[in-house]
Amino acid sequence: MNSFETRIVKTWKPSVFLRIVFIILLLGGSALTSIFEVEEKWLRLTGSFAFMLGMFGALSQSFVKPKYLGDMEIDETRVKIDLANFGKEFLISELQEIGFKYGGYASFWKYTLYGNKNHIYFTTLSGEKYNYEIILQNKQKKEELKSFLNELNTTDTIQIKKFGNSAF
């Protein structure tokens, strides 16, 4: 394998306030419809509506597409970062370590349809640290990155660290 290419993204992270609102809607709606025996029809309908709104808010987070920031290409000699306002190349010989935190690839059964939070980070010999969130679209991309990092680990003196999900 000569290189590995992927997209650099930023996943939307809902605020604590928004999460609390969805939890209150879920709990309040379920209490009105299931726990309390409410006689008023409008109150039951309001509780059902609040419950459905809370469920929609909680489940729709996996359908939010991550924001595209740029591209990353790694080959045997360099790491190339292309962002909208920033482009930089790092030679592999100038890197102290490359780390990868694996969260999973895109799937309906996972956290998000567009790919979980996978982070690739590296440290230069001068001590500068860079951390990027990347997308692995499918299992094939995951296997490509896995074999590429293993190949890079055997050919160079660079240290490869893997964190997160043990499936990688």
The whole-number pLDDT of residue 155 equals 67
The whole-number pLDDT of residue 71 equals 93
The whole-number pLDDT of residue 147 equals 83
Question: In this structure, are residues 73 and 2 in contact, taking their beta carbons and an 8 Å threshold?
Answer: no
Q: Which ranges of the chain have pLDDT less than 70?
A: 1, 62, 104-116, 155-159, 162-168
**Distance from CA of residue 112 to its chain's centroid?**
8
Return the number of other C-beta atoms located less than 10 Å from residue 87's C-beta: 11
The whole-number pLDDT of residue 167 equals 59
User: How much is the pTM?
Assistant: 0.71
| Gap between the Cα atoms of 70 and 80, Å rounded | 11
The whole-number pLDDT of residue 129 equals 92
Q: What are the backbone angles phi and psi of residue 33, rounded to the nearest 5°?
A: -90, -30
